[in-house]
Amino acid sequence: MTDLSLTNSPIVAAYRSRTPTSAKLFDDALEVFPSGVVHDSRKLDPYPTYVERAEGSRKWDVDGNEYIDYFGGHGSLLLGHAHPTLLAAVEGQIGRGTHPAACHELELRWGQLIKRLIPSAERVRFTASGTEANLMAIRLARAFTGRAKLMRFNNHFHGWQDHVAFGTIHQSGGGDVPGVLQGIIDNVIVADPGDVEAVRETLETGDDIAAVILEPTGASSGRVPLSREFVAMLREVTEARGIVLIFDEVVTGFRISPGGAQALWDISPDLTALAKILAGGLPGGAVCGRADILAHLDFTAAADKGFQKIPHQGTFNANPLSAAAGVAMLEQVAETDACETASARGEQLRQAWNRVFADEGVPWAAYGMASCIYLFTNPDGLEIDPLNFDAAAQPFSLFDKTGAHRAVPLLHLALLANGVDISSKPAALTSAAHTEDDIAGTADAMRAALRMLKDEGAL
């Protein structure tokens, strides 16, 4: 990887001249955190921006620069930053205490909203994160079936815990992860979602498969798109074979539609992992699904049916602040057009960026579903028409690699220098707080960024 801090790129220079305070903070952070960051996706060369505050579709860094934000709290924001209704809910709760170490009414209302919105949710168990929600879903599936093996798919991301940490480009370039025991790896089948027949055959013939877990719209919630037919095939085969089908709807839940991918596609998984939007921008997760599977967390069911219950603790499960934000958030999802507005802005952004790519003669394309936008940066220089790019019709191999155009790190900096923040995939998430003016401004920023890239020969 090129070390951007060592180049004399004018884009890096422009970025540096706008962000001296971030540079200084990052120098100090290197003495505290490995690589100076607390989350791998926030690593940015030559250094990340430090954000001071955020509101609506905007955030401001410590040097006073304003950004239209498409990182979207790693996907946890559907209403933008500091939405007044969510703020009021959290402020109303904080004075009443942050941890009663007791059952409380908000957890009940939060769980009831999940049951109302997510079609397959018969029972709910809260966790503190999406990683934990998936961990519990996998454990429930193994306990319920008495089988050992987990099938999951190349590059589908389910958090950083041991059973799902390897074989995804997010964490390891697709290889092993140091510290994950071979015994765990031996019980996980990492399948290629592009090879439909091999997947079907493994599920039809494997006799020790407890569960299949997937991101139902494809890796990174659609960066590598999956067809509904593929997911329907998984449902059919897993049902026939008594295998637990787990949808990881940590990103797609409440975003792709109010009821997630399962509502949009009318396919019912056995278990669903939720997080992010679930807790309205605060920490929180949940596993929900079939009552007979979640019964493995139930004292009475275990005693009555003579099985050993799965123990489950978690100091911050459904903590009152997250529950307050979560209830307010899910009420907005259920009762307003927040999801629809965020999706409409997503479609507008895809179209606006694609017009810019076409105008500028750059063979890239923006694609995705609903409020999830991905950039295909075409590292192999294929001939494509940005205005007619159908990601679903492309071979998986086109997306299923770490490869993005070598200019992508510079693109990110050039967009920041033009007042727009995206995530490093490169991807953008829209929210209901983004306006049509934001979209127009973001198209202008992309045009300016591409011209900066061309000027320095990076494109």
Task: Provide the binding-site residues for ligand PMP, judged by CB under 6 A.
Answer: 74, 129-131, 134, 157-159, 215, 248, 250-251, 275, 285
Give the nearest distance from C-beta 248 to ligand PMP in angstroms.
5
SS3 label, residue 28? helix
Nearer to ligand PMP, 216 or 409 (CB): 216
Smallest distance, Å, CB 274 to ligand PMP?
10
Give whichever of 46 and 426 is closer to ligand PMP, judged by the CB atom.
426
As a whole number of Å, the CA-based R_g of the chain is 22
Residue-wise burial string across 77-114, b where 16 or more C-beta atoms lie within 10 A, e elsewhere? bbbbbbbeebbebbeebeeeeeeeeeebebbeebbebb
Structure tokens at 51: 């954000």
Distance CA(368)–CA(286), nearest Å, equals 25
Residue closer to ligand PMP (CB basis): 131 or 430: 131
Please report where in the chains the tokens 């498969």 appear, as a residue: 209
Nearer to ligand PMP, 164 or 410 (CB): 164
Between 118 and 275, name the residue whose CB sits nearer to ligand PMP: 275
Q: Choose between 421 and 438: whose C-beta lies nearer to ligand PMP.
A: 421
Q: Are 37 and 240 in contact (CB under 8 A)?
A: no
State in angstroms the smallest separation of the CB of 131 from ligand PMP: 3
Q: Nearest distance from residue 125's CB to ligand PMP, in Å?
A: 15
Q: Give me the least distance between CB of 435 and ligand PMP, in Å please.
A: 26
Nearest residue (CB) to ligand PMP, 170 versus 235: 170
Q: What is the helix, strand, coil percentage profile of the chain, to 5?
A: 45, 15, 40
| Shorter beta-carbon distance to ligand PMP: residue 221 or 332 | 221
Inter-helix orientation angle 436-455/408-417, to 10°: 120
CB of 1 to ligand PMP, least distance (A): 22
* Closest CB 82 distance from ligand PMP, rounded Å: 20
Give the HSE-up count for residue 234: Cα atoms under 13 Å, Cβ half-sphere. Answer: 30
Rounded Cα distance between 338 and 80, Å, is 10
Q: How far is the CB of 377 from ligand PMP (least distance, A)?
A: 21
Residue 52 CA to residue 197 CA, distance in Å, equals 50
Helices (H) and strands (E) counted in the chain, each on its own, are 18, 16
Length of the chain: 459
Closer to ligand PMP by Cβ: residue 10 or 283: 283
Spatial distance between the Cα atoms of 226 and 277, rounded to a whole number of angstroms = 22
Q: How far is the CB of 188 from ligand PMP (least distance, A)?
A: 16
Q: How far is the CB of 24 from ligand PMP (least distance, A)?
A: 28
Using the minimum distance from each CB to ligand PMP, give the nearer residue, 248 or 270.
248
Question: Closest separation between CB of residue 371 and ligand PMP, Å?
Answer: 14
Q: Is 60 helix (H, G, I), strand (E, B) or coil?
A: strand
CB nearer to ligand PMP: pick between 63 and 162 = 162
Q: 345 near 371, Cβ under 8 Å?
A: yes
> Cβ closer to ligand PMP: 131 or 319?
131
Other Cβ atoms less than 10 A from the Cβ of 450: the count is: 24
**Residue 26 beta carbon to ligand PMP: minimum distance, rounded to whole angstroms:** 22
Instruction: Answer left, alpha or beta for residue 297, where phi above 0 means left and psi between -120 and 50 means alpha.
Output: alpha
Q: Which residues contact 114 (CB under 8 A, 6 or more apart)?
A: 121, 124, 274, 278, 286, 288, 330
Q: Shortest CA distance to 77 belongs to which of 275, 214, 248, 215?
A: 275
Chain residue at closest Cβ approach to ligand PMP: 130
Reported for 12-18, long-range contacts at CB under 8 A and 24+ positions apart, including other chains, are 12/46, 12/410, 12/413, 14/413, 14/414, 14/417, 14/452, 15/46, 15/413, 15/414, 15/416, 15/417, 16/46, 18/63, 18/65, 18/417
